[in-house]
């Protein structure tokens, strides 16, 4: 029996690799990574969704959109609640603003 699936959306290579290794060691059967929003959407569609997502809200390499737009997109393309773990180097400095914004995505 395969473990649950997880999508890691992280633009910093070494962090993406570390998260991938931890996810595999934790028993996730399918681990996919994306460094850009467009690639995350492609992976989502190719896999038919994921059991969990680790998401960097602010992808420095992605001028097209941010983690918030991906959260909205995933909600529209998922028949079940999504387990999303938020990562962001900027979260601590803007916590009140970020936490209020994230409440809109709670399922």
The pLDDT tens digits for 28-77 are 999 999 998 999 999 999 999 999 999 988 776 656 667 888 888 998 99
CA 8 to CA 5: how far, in whole Å? Answer: 10
Give residue 64's pLDDT. Answer: 62
Higher-confidence residue of 92 and 50: namely 50
Tokens, residue 86: 């938020």
Give residue 104's pLDDT. Answer: 46
Q: Give me the helix-helix angle, 67-76 and 37-47, nearest 10°.
A: 20
Highest mean pLDDT among 30-34, 76-80, 92-96: 30-34
Q: pTM of the full predicted structure?
A: 0.79
């Amino acid at each position: 029996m395969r473990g649950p699936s997880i999508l890691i959306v992280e633009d910093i290579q070494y962090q993406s690799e570390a998260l991938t290794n931890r996810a595999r060691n934790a028993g996730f059967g399918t681990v996919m990574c994306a460094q850009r929003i467009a690639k995350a959407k492609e992976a989502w569609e190719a896999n038919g969704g994921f059991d969990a997502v680790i998401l960097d809200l602010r992808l420095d390499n992605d001028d097209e959109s941010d983690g918030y737009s991906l959260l909205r997109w995933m909600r529209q393309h998922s028949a079940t609640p999504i387990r999303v773990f938020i990562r962001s180097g900027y979260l601590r400095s803007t916590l009140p603003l970020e936490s209020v914004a994230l409440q809109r995505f709670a399922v």
